[in-house]
Chain A
Amino acid sequence: MSLDGPALAPAPERENWRHFAAKAMGNRSFVIGGLITAIVAAMALGSYGWTPHDVTDLDVASRLKKPSNLFWFGTDHFGRDIFSMIMVGARNSIAVALIAVGIGVVIGVPLGTLAAARRGAVDEVLMRFNDLVFAFPALLSAVMITAIFGPGAVNAIIAIGIFNIPVFARVARGAALAIWPREFIMAAQVAGKGMIRITIEHILPNIANILLVQATIQFSLGILAEAGLSYVGLGTQPPWPSWGRMLFEAQTMMSFAPHMAIFPGLAIVITVLGLNLLGDGLRDVLDPRLRRER
């Protein structure tokens, strides 16, 4: 008789998916957040194929134009179309935040689950080191890293990514610790499965929900961090537009060209809001125990 297999580890089946979808569609945060995120993602993807104007094309003669039919969000001080820049900037924000979250997941989750599986000294060492990294204000340290290794999108990704590691390690460890004492894990141990196999086959599927929610939140923080780094000139470099740098460039011109600040500012706010709503919604849908009383 075999003790492993999906019968013991509760895994979603077709019925569950339908149930999940129905629940998700009924959750306002999830729907609105998902919609906003989808629109931003579509803008970013769309910018590969088409933008109203070329963002690397400087047309100084038509600089500082107010929003119009030709330039939907107006133009900046070099005559670049702000709508096109926001489209391409979305691509840049998403790419940076996504890869940074990826770094956090790929390194942080194995560390966290390892700590939970081994306990003892390994746990202690990993988690104290974790606390150490966590204790630094993330954005400040990101500024330090980019200041040392030079500004640019790649260094921004690494800087933001490093500070995602402890977040995921901690979340993964906490969630895994709650799973380890469960009966189906004991059954797997009795069946002779090793620690790594149990982690991959039983722990990870059961903590994936929590990680997904955390990833959404880290994603929105990543977008904010990228905007912050670009604002101080350490993020993506010209000619590629970045929302943060657009804000920086707008700041001395706010009195006579407010559209230069308003649109990139709105883009950041709306995107972060959308991701946070999506994260909230996901949490409610995936983990009813965490649902807030309404």
Chain B
Amino acid sequence: MRFVNVRSAALATAISLGLAATALTGAALAASHARTDIIFGLVLEPPHLDPTASAAAAIDEVVYANVFEGLTRINRNGAVKPALAESWEVSEDGKTYTFKLRTGVKFHDGADFTADDVKFSLDRARAEDSVNAQKGLFKAIEAVEVVDDATVRVTLSSPAGNFLFNMGWGDAIIVDPASAESNQSNPVGTGPFKFSNWAKGSAIELVRNEGYWGDAVALTKATFRIIPDPAAAVAALLAEDVDAFANVPSPEAIPQFQADPRFTVVVGSTEGETILSINNKQPPFDDVRVRRAIAHAIDRQAIIDGAMFGLGTPIGTHFAPHHPAYEDLIDTYPRDLDKARALLAEAGHADGFKATLRLPPPSYARRGGEIIAASLREIGIELEIIPVEWAQWLEQAFRGKDYDLTMVSHTEPQDIGIYANPDYYFQYDSKPFQDTIAELNVTVDAEARYELMRKAQRIITEDAVNGYLFQLAKAGVWNAKLRGLWENSPVQANDLTEVHWAE
């Protein structure tokens, strides 16, 4: 894990503060004058609070690791750690995982956590009628057996190299059968925080779970305040109405916070590949020449500078640049307007055409979209910009596949597998790619996996499935006295388990 676009001063500050914090933690907690609550800023309000029933990142940003836990968890460095599974054994052939579960764990409503809950949760997620947004995570599972109350055996149809990582996703959290249906409005998990209240449109409150099985957390109360407006977010931070924003929605405000000693600014990496999504089944975008023309017309640096004020790393494919398997394909389609026009002409659109560009609310999309529209206008593609709200976007573009172009950041980790699903909203249907992912899913050897990941990246770039723009940076700003927040976002989460206030 490394920082992307680190402002060295900020990093140095963060590290030294971090070290100081470690040394001071004991003393500070002993003195106990420090605050024990946090008000965390959220840009997007979650549609509901059940991570097993929606793709919305905002859900995980509230409940992941705080309210809900899975068998495994992803830590701040992107590593797989034990959670509800204390330990596990993998059979020789890589097809059988035996999870040893923690005992004495209780759900927030008092129900005991047992192996039956694990079986229920995994079976529910992979069921035919499951509403899980990431069913692919569970595809390899053939059977889930309860060995005893504290042991679960999961049999896979073929070895899956990523299985333990997959089980750490928010979509794979363990729920209690009794409360599974009501988790959307009243989430009941096993985590260190309990759901307390949700004032729709305003704030979500969590309180400490005193009966937590693991190390007690320092915070007694966490409030996620929803502030969709970037200017209001900046103002709320400056006024200290909120203590932290994992990712400040207006990158232009970062220098201001860096200059203010009240704040810690950490520019880290995220798993957010920001792309110009193209509806691959919608003419004329079903023609690879048109998509390549778009790729040649896009000006990544202009988007990063103009929309993100320089925060972000250009990408040439759907993969995080800080990942060891990343393949640098940025130069596959250098900005070349003549070539783009030639490709369009070859595809029979010498005079260009009209299309729509739907832009969800985040500033990277609204601003970036304007730059893309200007770039494509240069090759004769007139884009009508349609601003949409998230609910509309999820309904029309994501679920309804009713769009030409849209711009969005895909924040799930290592999610290149979504291209293997022809029903995903890109509607990209490629046998070679699907075969590559199928092979990847059954490959366990790390080096061989990386090679397949690189191959997958090359295929989608070759097909110019989407316009690959930049890796979203995480411009975290929080109160300088806060410790323990994540610098990077290996998964979409605001893990509060290690957060505490320095004296």
Would you call B230 an interface residue if the criterion is a C-beta within 8 Å of the partner chain's C-beta atoms? yes
The reply to whether B306 and A253 form a contact with Cβ atoms under 8 Å apart is no
Q: A251-B231, A252-B234 are in contact. Are A239 and B370 (CB under 8 A)?
A: yes
- Measured in the bound complex, the distance between the Cα atoms of B255 and A256 in whole Å is 10
Which of these, B256, B299, B306, B371, contacts A255 with CB under 8 Å?
A: B256
In the complex formed, the residue of B with least CB distance to A150 is B386
Question: Which of A151, A238, A239, A251 has the most chain B CB atoms closer than 10 A to its own CB?
Answer: A238
- Measured in the bound complex, the distance between the Cα atoms of B387 and A237 in whole Å is 9
The reply to whether B231 and A58 form a contact with Cβ atoms under 8 Å apart is no
Which residues of A sit under 8 angstroms from B377, Cβ to Cβ?
56, 239
Which of these, A56, A78, A252, contacts B231 with CB under 8 Å?
A: A252
> Nearest Cβ in chain B — how far from A220, in angstroms?
27
Q: Mark A224-243, 1 if CB is under 8 A from B, else 0.
A: 00000000010001110000
- Measured in the bound complex, the distance between the Cα atoms of B367 and A63 in whole Å is 13
Would you call B305 an interface residue if the criterion is a C-beta within 8 Å of the partner chain's C-beta atoms? yes
Which residues of B sit under 8 angstroms from A251, Cβ to Cβ?
231
The reply to whether B255 and A57 form a contact with Cβ atoms under 8 Å apart is no
Would you call A60 an interface residue if the criterion is a C-beta within 8 Å of the partner chain's C-beta atoms? yes
The reply to whether A56 and B374 form a contact with Cβ atoms under 8 Å apart is yes
Q: Mark A62-98, 1 if CB is under 8 A from B, else 0.
A: 0100000000000001110000000000000000000
Q: Mark B368-382, 1 if CB is under 8 A from A, else 0.
A: 011101100100000
The reply to whether B230 and A252 form a contact with Cβ atoms under 8 Å apart is yes
Q: Mark B384-395, 1 if CB is under 8 A from A, else 0.
A: 111100000000
Which residues of B sit under 8 angstroms from A253, Cβ to Cβ?
252
The reply to whether A78 and B255 form a contact with Cβ atoms under 8 Å apart is no
Would you call B250 an interface residue if the criterion is a C-beta within 8 Å of the partner chain's C-beta atoms? yes
Would you call B146 an interface residue if the criterion is a C-beta within 8 Å of the partner chain's C-beta atoms? no
Count of chain A residues with Cβ under 8 Å from any Cβ of B? Answer: 20
- Measured in the bound complex, the distance between the Cα atoms of B283 and A166 in whole Å is 46
Which of these, A61, A151, A238, A255, contacts B370 with CB under 8 Å?
A: A238
> Nearest Cβ in chain A — how far from B282, in angstroms?
20
> Nearest Cβ in chain B — how far from A253, in angstroms?
5
Question: Which of A58, A78, A151 has the most chain B CB atoms closer than 10 A to its own CB?
Answer: A58
- Measured in the bound complex, the distance between the Cα atoms of B302 and A60 in whole Å is 6
Q: Which of B240-276 touch A at CB < 8 Å? A: 250, 252-253, 255-256
In the complex formed, the residue of B with least CB distance to A254 is B231
Q: A233-B387, A237-B385 are in contact. Are A256 and B252 (CB under 8 A)?
A: yes
The reply to whether B306 and A79 form a contact with Cβ atoms under 8 Å apart is yes
The reply to whether B252 and A78 form a contact with Cβ atoms under 8 Å apart is no
Which residues of A sit under 8 angstroms from B301, Cβ to Cβ?
60
The reply to whether A58 and B252 form a contact with Cβ atoms under 8 Å apart is no
Count of chain B residues with Cβ under 8 Å from any Cβ of A? Answer: 25
The reply to whether A77 and B373 form a contact with Cβ atoms under 8 Å apart is no
Which residues of A sit under 8 angstroms from B370, Cβ to Cβ?
58, 78, 238-239
> Nearest Cβ in chain A — how far from B448, in angstroms?
41
Q: A60-B302, A233-B387 are in contact. Are A77 and B256 (CB under 8 A)?
A: no
- Measured in the bound complex, the distance between the Cα atoms of B202 and A64 in whole Å is 34
Q: Which of B100-156 touch A at CB < 8 Å? A: none
- Measured in the bound complex, the distance between the Cα atoms of B367 and A60 in whole Å is 12
Which residues of B sit under 8 angstroms from A79, Cβ to Cβ?
306
Which of these, B299, B373, B374, B384, contacts A57 with CB under 8 Å?
A: B374
> Nearest Cβ in chain A — how far from B195, in angstroms?
31
- Measured in the bound complex, the distance between the Cα atoms of B234 and A151 in whole Å is 26
Which residues of B sit under 8 angstroms from A78, Cβ to Cβ?
306, 367, 370-371, 374
- Measured in the bound complex, the distance between the Cα atoms of B299 and A150 in whole Å is 29
Q: Mark A135-176, 1 if CB is under 8 A from B, else 0.
A: 000000000000000110000000000000000000000000
- Measured in the bound complex, the distance between the Cα atoms of B253 and A117 in whole Å is 61
> Nearest Cβ in chain B — how far from A260, in angstroms?
11
Which residues of A sit under 8 angstroms from B256, Cβ to Cβ?
255-256
In the complex formed, the residue of A with least CB distance to B375 is A58
Which of these, B252, B302, B373, B387, contacts A151 with CB under 8 Å?
A: B387
Q: Mark B295-313, 1 if CB is under 8 A from A, else 0.
A: 0000101100110010000
Q: Which of A205-234 touch B at CB < 8 Å? A: 233
In the complex formed, the residue of A with least CB distance to B233 is A252
Which residues of B sit under 8 angstroms from A239, Cβ to Cβ?
370, 373-374, 377, 385
Q: Which of B368-427 touch A at CB < 8 Å? A: 369-371, 373-374, 377, 384-387
Which of these, A57, A60, A237, A256, contacts B305 with CB under 8 Å?
A: A60
Which residues of A sit under 8 angstroms from B255, Cβ to Cβ?
256
Which of these, A61, A77, A233, contacts B367 with CB under 8 Å?
A: A77
> Nearest Cβ in chain B — how far from A88, in angstroms?
15
Which residues of A sit under 8 angstroms from B367, Cβ to Cβ?
77-78
In the complex formed, the residue of A with least CB distance to B304 is A60
The reply to whether B306 and A77 form a contact with Cβ atoms under 8 Å apart is yes
In the complex formed, the residue of A with least CB distance to B250 is A252
The reply to whether A58 and B374 form a contact with Cβ atoms under 8 Å apart is yes
Which residues of A sit under 8 angstroms from B385, Cβ to Cβ?
237-239
> Nearest Cβ in chain B — how far from A147, in angstroms?
10
In the complex formed, the residue of B with least CB distance to A151 is B387
> Nearest Cβ in chain B — how far from A165, in angstroms?
28
- Measured in the bound complex, the distance between the Cα atoms of B377 and A238 in whole Å is 13
Which residues of B sit under 8 angstroms from A58, Cβ to Cβ?
302, 306, 370-371, 374
| 13 further A-B pairs in the complex, CB-CB below 8 A; given A151-B387, A238-B385 | A56-B374, A58-B302, A60-B299, A77-B252, A77-B367, A78-B367, A150-B386, A237-B387, A239-B374, A252-B230, A255-B253, A256-B255, A256-B256
Q: What are 26 sample pairs from A and B whose C-beta atoms fall under 8 A apart? A: A56-B374, A56-B377, A58-B302, A58-B370, A60-B301, A60-B302, A60-B305, A60-B371, A63-B305, A63-B306, A77-B306, A77-B367, A78-B306, A78-B374, A79-B306, A237-B384, A237-B385, A237-B387, A239-B370, A251-B231, A252-B231, A252-B234, A252-B250, A252-B252, A256-B252, A256-B255
